């Protein structure tokens, strides 16, 4: 799959997820076989007005490339300026958020609210297209309330503005995360435009990635929640789309991920901030493991690298002993 001048190693893409897809997590996803990673959504206003906190969200590493940076906002000139800024900071692809349905964002007229305002969406994309030479992509919902018309219109607008690919989370903004994704719409968008179309929504099992590719004819598959704490999902989905046997991921591998994630988080954010963040995040990696609720509760007390590592050690040893006893 290609997005303009970027040839991706495969068709699997990590969905942008606020608070989750920062650099340490993106590296784990790439290592597991994901073809393209995306930052969490970044405020164009924050960048434009020089917020240090926003800039800190833009740290990228060579090990994760190619990396897309997703911007949100509603002012064409500010979005254009932000696109030029993230290009300067090393983004391989600039992505625009037309899908966020969180109240805080849609109240400002950004994210999914733009699906109701095609004129503004067009002005934003035209201004951004002029401002950056990097590939430009969009990620949208299936519509504001009803699935279909607005997403098809926005896809055509995007293509007309020189956008290089569209991703579609096939749920309406009103749906949030409820109900199921409308994969039929992904197929209709694929038939309506000639730029690459990336389908998203409800890839729950590795085999779903192949089902989405085959049933919608989309060019790429974007995976979000299934990968949280489980980047090995990408290696399994990759096997599925290549018609290979799906590898079993050893639960004990989760501990290596926890150590590496802890390490990278501390390197990126400093020990104090990283430990605060790890209190809720380390638990992701224990999803599906025995006694994970005890581990998650204990993780809320992490206050240093030492306590984090001791906690992981103890959990790993407990699980290894239980595995040995049951063998």
Ligand X SMILES: Cc1cc2nc3c(=O)[nH]c(=O)nc-3n(C[C@H](O)[C@H](O)[C@H](O)COP(=O)(O)O)c2cc1C
Q: Would you count residue 41 as binding ligand X (CB under 6 A)?
A: yes
Among 99, 229, 231, 283, binds ligand X (CB under 6 A): 99
Q: How far is the CB of 111 from ligand X (least distance, A)?
A: 8
Catalytic residue among 34, 38, 100, 161: 100
198, 166 in Cβ contact below 8 A?
yes
Q: Would you count residue 34 as binding ligand X (CB under 6 A)?
A: no
Q: Would you count residue 202 as binding ligand X (CB under 6 A)?
A: yes
Among 30, 129, 139, 190, binds ligand X (CB under 6 A): 139
Among 200, 216, 262, 292, binds ligand X (CB under 6 A): 200
In the complex with ligand X, which residue's Cβ is closer, 17 or 131?
Answer: 17
Which of the stretches 49-57, 223-231, 242-250, 266-274 binds ligand X when contact is defined by CB under 6 A?
223-231
In the complex with ligand X, which residue's Cβ is closer, 66 or 99?
Answer: 99
In the complex with ligand X, which residue's Cβ is closer, 242 or 280?
Answer: 280
Residue appearing with tokens 């949100």: 72
Among 113, 121, 223, 265, binds ligand X (CB under 6 A): 223
Among 100, 237, 265, 275, binds ligand X (CB under 6 A): 100
Among 17, 121, 131, 237, binds ligand X (CB under 6 A): 17
Among 225, 279, 305, 316, binds ligand X (CB under 6 A): 225
Q: Would you count residue 174 as binding ligand X (CB under 6 A)?
A: no
Q: Would you count residue 15 as binding ligand X (CB under 6 A)?
A: yes
In the complex with ligand X, which residue's Cβ is closer, 16 or 319?
Answer: 16
Please confirm, yes or no, whether 100 is among the known catalytic residues. yes
- State the SS3 of the chain: CEECCEECCCCEEECCCCCCCCHHHHHHHHHCCCCEEEEEEEEHHHHHCCCHHHHHCCCCCHHHCCEEEEEECCCHHHHHHHHHHHHHCCCCEEEEEECCCCHHHHCCCCHHHHHHCHHHHHHHHHHHHHHCCCCEEEEEEEECCCCCHHHHHHHHHHHHCCCCEEEEEEEECCCCCCCCCCHHHHHHHHHHCCCCEEEECCCCCHHHHHHHHHHHCCCEEEECHHHCCCCCHHHHHHHHHCCCCCCCCCCCHHHHHHHHHHHHHHHHHCHHHHHHHHHHHHHHHHCCCCCHHHHHHHHCCCCCHHHHHHHHHHHHHHHHHHHHHHC
Q: How far is the CB of 140 from ligand X (least distance, A)?
A: 9
Question: CA separation (Å) from 191 to 108, 173, 178, 312, 317?
Answer: 32, 23, 26, 48, 52
Q: Would you count residue 105 as binding ligand X (CB under 6 A)?
A: no
Among 16, 143, 196, 229, binds ligand X (CB under 6 A): 16
Q: Would you count residue 206 as binding ligand X (CB under 6 A)?
A: no
Please count the residues of this chain forming the interface with ligand X, following the rule CB under 6 A: 21
Q: How far is the CB of 159 from ligand X (least distance, A)?
A: 19
Q: Is 291 left (phi over 0), alpha (psi -120 to 50) or beta?
A: left
The catalytic site residues sit at 100
Residues binding ligand X (CB under 6 A): 15-18, 20, 40-41, 70, 97, 99-100, 139, 169, 200-203, 223-226
């Amino acid at each position: 799959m290609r997005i303009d001048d970027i040839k991706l190693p495969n068709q699997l893409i990590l969905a942008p997820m606020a608070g989750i897809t920062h650099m340490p997590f993106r590296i784990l996803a790439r290592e597991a076989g994901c073809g393209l990673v995306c930052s969490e959504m970044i405020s164009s206003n924050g960048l434009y007005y020089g917020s240090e906190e926003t800039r800190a969200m833009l740290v990228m590493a060579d090990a994760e490339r190619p990396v897309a940076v997703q911007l949100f906002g509603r002012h064409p000139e500010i979005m254009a300026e932000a696109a030029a800024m993230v290009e300067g900071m090393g983004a391989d692809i600039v992505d625009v958020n037309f899908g966020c349905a969180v109240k805080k964002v849609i109240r400002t007229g950004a994210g999914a609210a733009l699906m109701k305002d095609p004129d503004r969406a067009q002005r934003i994309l035209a201004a951004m297209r002029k401002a950056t030479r990097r590939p430009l992509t969009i990620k949208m919902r299936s519509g504001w309330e009803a699935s279909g018309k607005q997403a098809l219109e926005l896809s055509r607008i995007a293509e007309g503005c020189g956008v290089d690919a569209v991703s579609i989370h096939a749920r309406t903004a009103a749906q949030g995360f409820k109900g199921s994704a409308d994969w039929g719409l992904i197929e209709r968008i694929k038939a309506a435009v000639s730029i690459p179309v990336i389908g998203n929504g409800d890839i729950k099992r590795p085999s779903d990635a192949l089902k989405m590719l085959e049933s919608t004819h989309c060019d790429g598959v974007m995976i979000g929640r299934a990968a949280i704490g489980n980047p090995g999902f990408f290696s399994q989905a990759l096997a599925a789309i290549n018609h290979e046997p799906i590898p079993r991921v050893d639960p004990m591998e989760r501990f290596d991920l926890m150590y590496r994630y802890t390490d990278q988080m501390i390197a990126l954010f400093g020990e104090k901030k990283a430990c605060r963040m790890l209190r809720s995040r380390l638990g992701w990696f224990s999803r599906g493991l025995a006694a994970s609720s005890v581990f998650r509760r204990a993780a809320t007390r992490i206050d240093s690298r030492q306590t984090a590592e001791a906690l992981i050690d103890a959990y790993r040893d407990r699980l290894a002993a239980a595995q040995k006893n049951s063998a």
